[in-house]
Amino acid sequence: MSVKEDNEGKSIFHHTDLYGSIPPTCLPIVYHPDYNITFMGLEKLHPFDSGKWGKVIRFLKEEQFITDENIVEAREASEEDLLVVHTKRYLGSLKWSFVVATITEIPPLVILPNCLVQQRVLRPLRTQTGGTIMAGKLAVERGWAINVGGGFHHCSGDKGGGFCAYADITLAIKFLFERVEGISRATIIDLDAHQGNGHERDFLGDTRVFIMDMYNHNIYPGDRHAKRAIKRKVELDWGTEDSEYLQKVELHSEGALNEVRPDIIVYNAGTDILDGDPLGGLSISPQGIVKRDEIVFRAAKQRGSDWSHSYGEGGIVTTGDPLDPKLWFCRISTHRCVRTEVVTCQSAANNAAPTSHM
């Protein structure tokens, strides 16, 4: 992978700590303990577990699947990093606690000093955002990468919402476009239960980015303007179950990757599609989520073999809210085996229990 430089061999962009070299002994899995949000119990006022990222990592360590030494430690995105996409006006607005309370949907944040809100809420989100940017570079180098957090698809360059304060998906793609030679086309496959209106607004009219979005059209955000950016739109009804859902995932993910020849695929693997999730309104089983990931990873691998460059020079980066830790074991196993034979991990899926998600 080569980074774009000027005629004197110097980087033509701002200095960033997010594109440093990663030891080859590390798996392309990005995480930091600072992802987790805990502050006087206020995090419990939102209907999902804001400490779920750490629970996933603890489970994977207990299963001896990862160690502290072989995962990549995420770094916090700096203000200069964020300004690649965000306006100064928007970042300035986050210095007001009531703005953050609105974005995160946690009203009591209004009464807290912004210094505490920055430290306990926004810093974890900036670290997750840095993790997604880092995962983008890793995916180019390794062929795949996972950020255990991130997937803030409701945030655009000038507006946050739906617990999404930073546009990590847009940032990851724009960093690659600007800094990495050979990366000029991207496909976003967004399979969260909600429409990904943030990255859609950011890439509206940008022919370099192909967006597939499959979501429950009855729920938040219902952003008609942003829908204009979707090249392959799949709207689901309340209570959609495995059979119909997986047929559509296979048809449309393969169709999306056949329509264009992307240099990078960003897969937002939201799990609020799980049956019983309080926000998603769909009825997908744990086994269905495992199968969904398998379909997407296999489609990416198959298309990779047809590209003019090797799969390792492109790649797939996965973001999104964590699901049951047992299913994360399946997700990572599938990623690691995508070059040969995809692992389905049905036994772990059978033992997974529904949890609450973003």
Give me the active site residues, please.
154
Contact 358, 55 (CB under 8 A): no
Beta bridge partners of 317: 145, 266
Count of other CB atoms within 10 angstroms of residue 2: 8
Residues 138, 1: Cα–Cα separation, whole Å: 10
Q: What whole-number distance in Å separates Cα of residue 88 and Cα of residue 86?
A: 7
List 166's β-bridge partners, or say none.
none
Q: Are 272 and 358 in contact (CB under 8 A)?
A: yes
According to DSSP, residue 143 is labeled S
* Torsion angle of the four alpha carbons 11, 202, 320, 17, in this order, in degrees rounded to the nearest 10: 20
What is the amino acid identity at position 260? Answer: V
Residues 6+ apart with CB under 8 A from 260: 185, 187, 210
Tokens of 63: 């299963």
Q: Is 7 exposed, middle or buried (0-12, 13-18, 19+ CB in 10 A)?
A: exposed
Burial of 327-336, coded b for 16+ CB within 10 Å and e otherwise, reads bbbbbbbbbe
Contact 53, 271 (CB under 8 A): no
- Cα-based distances in Å from 51 to 20, 124, 148, 358: 27, 11, 12, 12
Look up residue 10 and give its two tokens: 């110097």
Cα 274 to the center of its chain, rounded Å: 17
